[in-house]
């Protein structure tokens, strides 16, 4: 295998990883802070991709307008899902999981009813390839990488450098204590869920051109988010980044050399081993 090919695979892996970071960080927040294992998380990714298709290919809006409109739509959708369904059922973790499965069915059903069952392909206004050494770096993929990193940067700023972020981290580490200190935790929960879910949606928007869009692809992305989070460690943002890099590169390498199914088997085996050996994940905190 030539070095250029390896480089190409590596580049693709990094692009996929950057999308997984957005996907997984949101999943991590929702699971780690609200304690909701949301099976419909990947469906918001799918929803984001379909909204992007609608705004870009359907209405011929520019990418950035599409990005913002789709983001807003996902945020509202997340708010409805939380207030209408998940929040009232939060008492019982288990019923909540099943409720999120109801959401899976509802979102998938609505999307396939509205957009139809056939695969959709988004053609971005940006095209072309940048040649670097022997590598072919396509501009759409570079854009995906760039926007993902920018969104993630904004997210990091919010979490680590604002008062909201401080309240969020406080709630994450000890909700009761946070409440005693005057933090309105139900508001934090609300924003966290909507933000985390919107991050998944944005992942779907920026990656919408990479694969054909199908309504049933949502669950695959929930699975990937789950793999990344367990691997990196529940409640750990650096863990989500490391997990996303591992899974993205693993998928890119094994997927190119063998096939994507084997890549998935390998990632699940890795996660199973991690669960057995260190259930808190690579960078997770013990006892969470």
Partner 1 sequence: MFRLRSLNASRIWKGIIITALWLLGVFVPLFFQDPFVLHLFNLVFLGCVWALSWTILARTGYISFAHNAFLGIGAYTSVYLVMQLNVPFWGGFLAAGAMAGIFALILGVIILRLKGIFFVLSTFCFAQIMLRVFRLAVPITGGANGIRGIPPPIFPLIGSIESHGQFYVLFYIYATLVVIFTARLFTSNIGREFKAIGEDMFVAESMGIDTTRQKVIAFLISSVIAGFSGSFHAHYVSFISDTTFEMIKAIETVIYCVVGGIGSIVGPIIGAFVMVPLPEFLRGFVAYQIALYGLILILILRFFPEGIWGTVKRGIHAFTPTTPTTKLKSLSLSSELADGFSIDFGDTLDFKKGTILECQAISRHFGGLAALSKVSFSINSGEILGIVGPNGAGKTTLYNVITGVFPPNQGTIIFKGRNITGLRPSKISHLGVGRVFQTRILYTESSVKENVARSFVPRSGFNGIKDLLSLEKKKHQWVNDETQQILTLCGLDPVAEELPKNLPHGFQRLLGFAMALATKPELILLDEPVTGMSIEEMNIIGDMLEKIHKSGLTIIIVEHNVNFVMRLCPRILVLNYGEKIAEGTPEEIRNNPNVIEAFLGG
- The burial of 59, by beta-carbon neighbours within 10 Å (0-12 exposed, 13-18 middle, 19 or more buried), is given as exposed
Query: Shortest distance, CB of residue 39 to partner 1, whole angstroms?
Result: 8
**Choice between 102 and 153, CB closer to partner 1:** 102
For 108-147, b/e burial (b = at least 16 CB within 10 A) is: beebeeebeeeebebebeeeeeeeeeeeebbebbbbbbeb
Q: What is the dihedral of CA 243, 99, 49, 162, to 10 degrees?
A: -60
CB of 105 vs partner 1, minimal distance in Å:
3
- Residue 177 or residue 272: which is nearer to partner 1 going by CB? 272
Q: Taking the complex as a whole, how short is the minimal distance between the CB of residue 146 and partner 1, in angstroms?
A: 32
- Which spans of this chain sit near partner 1 (rule: CB under 8 A)? 37, 84-85, 88-89, 92, 94-95, 97-99, 101-110, 112-113, 219, 223, 226, 230, 261-262, 264-265, 268-269, 271-272, 275-276, 279
CA distance 206 to 19: 8
- Distance of closest approach, residue 246 Cβ to partner 1, in angstroms: 15
Structure tokens at 72: 């807003």
Q: Which is nearer to partner 1, 65 or 262 (CB)?
A: 262
Q: Of the two residues 184 and 259, which places its CB atom closer to partner 1 in the complex?
A: 259
Q: How far is the CB of 279 from partner 1 (least distance, A)?
A: 5
Say if CB 178 and CB 171 are below 8 A apart.
yes
C-beta closer to partner 1: residue 79 or 219: 219
Find all residues with CB under 8 Å of 98, minimum gap 6, and list them: none
């Amino acid at each position: 295998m030539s070095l250029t090919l390896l480089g190409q695979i590596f580049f693709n892996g990094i692009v996929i990883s950057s999308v997984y970071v957005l996907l997984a960080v949101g999943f991590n927040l929702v699971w780690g802070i609200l304690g909701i294992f949301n099976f419909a998380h990947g469906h918001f990714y799918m929803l984001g991709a379909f909204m992007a298709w609608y705004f870009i290919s359907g209405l011929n809006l520019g990418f950035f307008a599409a990005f913002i409109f789709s983001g807003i739509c996902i945020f509202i959708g997340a708010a409805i899902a939380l207030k209408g369904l998940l929040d009232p059922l939060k008492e019982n973790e288990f019923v909540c999981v099943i409720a999120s499965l109801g959401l899976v069915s509802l979102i998938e059903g609505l999307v396939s009813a509205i957009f139809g069952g056939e695969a959709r392909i988004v053609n971005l206004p940006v095209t072309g390839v940048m040649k670097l050494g022997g590598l072919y770096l396509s501009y759409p993929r570079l854009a995906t990488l760039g926007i993902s990193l920018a969104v993630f940067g904004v997210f990091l700023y919010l979490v680590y450098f604002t008062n909201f972020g401080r309240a969020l981290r406080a709630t994450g580490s000890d909700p009761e204590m946070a409440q005693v200190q005057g933090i309105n935790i139900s508001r934090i929960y609300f924003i966290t869920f909507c933000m985390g879910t919107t991050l998944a949606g944005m992942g779907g928007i920026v990656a919408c051109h990479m694969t054909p869009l199908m309504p049933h692809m949502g669950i695959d992305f929930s699975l990937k988010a789950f793999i990344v989070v367990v691997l990196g460690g529940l409640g750990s943002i650096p863990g989500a980044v490391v997990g996303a890099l591992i899974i993205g590169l693993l998928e890119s390498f094994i997927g190119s050399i063998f096939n994507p199914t084997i890549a998935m088997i390998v990632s699940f085996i890795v996660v199973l081993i991690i669960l057995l050996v260190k259930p808190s994940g690579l960078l997770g905190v013990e006892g969470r």
